[in-house]
Amino acid sequence: PGTNLGAATPVEIGGLPSLPGGEKDDKDTGKPAGDPMRAKATNDAVALIRSLAELRGRNGDWGEKAVREAASLSASAALQQHVIDFVARDTAELLQLADGRTVDVAGKKEVLATKGLAVEVLDPGWFIRLLAVITDPNVAVLLMLIGFYGIVFEVTSPGAVAPGVIGAICLVLGLYALDLLPINYTGLALMLLGVAFLIVEAFSPTVVLGVGGAAAFLLGAAMLLKVEGPGFAISWAVIGPAAALTLGLALLAGSYLWAARRNPPRVGGGAMHGLSVDVLDWEGGEGHVLALGERWRAKAEEPIAPGDRAEVTAVSDLVLTVRRRGAGHNGAGNDGAKR
């Protein structure tokens, strides 16, 4: 009760509809002639449903109508037109009504003995339930994001190991789920492009890449699935926070990078500018100095003596360019003393 059957017209999944004016009317019937492939599929379905109806003693005329005209019937109407044998409310009633009926099995007549049979219910195992969770479109999108960011973090911070392992597993599971779902590859490409833009935004802060990446991610998520309906829809409660979190992480990373860029360098040659060093030995315009506990080759454009204090003005490869600290003031004082 409460069910229906029919509408058996064959249709092409994902096919394009016929263009207006592309079909000419048949001269005899005045109906659209249709293309040969559609006629072939329809006639084949009619022959199949008629053969099954004749084999089981059902209403073959209505079966052909269900294919050609996509006709449908309710449960009670199907019983009246001899399209079905009986209507059962549950499994127990189904077994009771089927008991004693004679059926044709492999060319032999068999009498069904179904009354009082025990019903065994087989529930899906944990692995099937896990796959059902993974293939949820919302979970698939989250797995893809976690996998993408895990691999990016592993590449930018080699040796962490855990983000790379978790990211690779989540990425493979996300791709597995998307392979089972009717996805639109344009939407998937937009999502990946949006995430890529936001990652670039984190390393090279610009407003355009951040806004464009968030927009591409939202548009791609909205058009990711080809089929709309229960079980085939991505919740905006998932898309919105995911896009906001991605944009927030990009902006946060960009702000830290911008702040680090404005701070003076702490390592490398740039960090040695203005560093105070001790002159160890000097001859002509070159010598050695002690900087940060290390012995460095150095050169200068002014006379320097061992024991003087100097400061670094430039670094070229492994040679420091130095000048005597306070050389200008000391020189002026010496000239005054000589006068």
Same domain, 226 and 140: yes
Q: Within this chain, do residues 211 and 288 fall inside the same structural domain, yes or no? A: no
255 and 169 share one domain: yes
Q: What mean pLDDT comes out for the span 218-228?
A: 71
In a domain, residue 237? The reply is yes
What CATH number does the domain containing 273 carry? 2.40.50.140
pLDDT reported for residue 107 = 80
Identity of residue 294: E
The number of domains in the chain is: 4
Residue 277: inside a domain: yes
Q: For CA atoms 233, 235, 236, 240, give the dihedral sign.
A: negative
Alpha helix (H) residue ranges in the chain: 36-56, 60-68, 75-80, 91-98, 126-134, 137-156, 162-180, 185-203, 207-222, 236-262, 327-338
Q: With bands split at pLDDT 50, 70 and 90, how would you rate the model's confidence at 326?
A: low
Q: Does residue 146 sit in the same domain as residue 184?
A: yes
Torsion over CA: 69, 72, 76, 79 (sign): positive
* pLDDT value at 232 more than 80: no
Is residue 68 domain-resident? yes
Q: Is 252 exposed, middle or buried (0-12, 13-18, 19+ CB in 10 A)?
A: exposed
Amino acid, single-letter form, for residue 103: V
Mean pLDDT along residues 118-141:
87
Average pLDDT over residues 231-237: 67
65 and 96 both lie in a single domain: no
Mean pLDDT of the chain: 78
Q: What is the pLDDT of residue 103?
A: 86
Tell me whether residue 338 is in a domain: no
Q: Which two tokens stand for residue 335?
A: 């000239």
Show which of 63, 87, 111 is a domain's final residue: 87
Q: Which amino acid is at 80?
A: Q
pLDDT score for 17:
46
- The answer as to whether 325 is a domain residue is yes
pLDDT digits (tens, 9 = 90+) for 294-312: 888 888 888 888 888 888 8
Q: Is 158 left (phi over 0), alpha (psi -120 to 50) or beta?
A: beta
Q: Report pLDDT for 230.
A: 54
Are 202 and 224 in the same domain? yes
Q: Could you give the CA distance from residue 217 to residue 123 in angstroms, rounded to a whole number? A: 38
In this structure, is residue 337 part of a structural domain? Answer: no
Please report the pLDDT score of residue 257 as a whole number.
Answer: 72
In this structure, which amino acid lies at residue 22?
Answer: G
Residue partners of 56: CB distance under 8 A and separation at least 6: none
Q: Which residue has the higher pLDDT, 39 or 205?
A: 39
Distances (CA, A) of 68 to 31, 49, 60, 62: 13, 11, 12, 10
Is the residue at 317 inside a domain? yes
Average pLDDT over residues 162-183: 84
Question: Which structural domain, as residue segments, surrounds residue 310?
Answer: 269-332
- Both 155 and 274 in a single domain? no
**Pairwise pLDDT comparison (326 vs 215), residue with the higher score:** 215
CATH number at residue 52: 3.90.226.10
State yes or no: pLDDT of 88 exceeds 50. yes
Q: Which of 110-114, 186-190, 219-223, 314-318 has the highest mean pLDDT?
A: 110-114
Same domain, 175 and 299: no
Last residue of one domain, picked from the residues 87, 109, 139: 87
Q: Within a domain: residue 154?
A: yes
Alpha helices, H only, 2-136: 36-56, 60-68, 75-80, 91-98, 126-134
Shared domain check, 98 and 53: no
| Domain boundary residue, one of 214, 231, 262 | 262
pLDDT band with cut points at 50, 70 and 90 for residue 267: low
**Whether residue 173 is found in the same domain as residue 140:** yes
Is the pLDDT at 270 greater than 80? The verdict is no
* One domain for residues 231 and 116: no
Q: What is the pLDDT of residues 29-71, one digit of tens each?
A: 544 456 788 888 889 999 999 999 988 888 999 999 999 999 9
- pLDDT higher than threshold 50 for residue 20: no
Do residues 152 and 254 share a domain? yes
Confidence tier at 76 by pLDDT (50, 70, 90): very high
Bigger pLDDT: 138 or 18?
Answer: 138
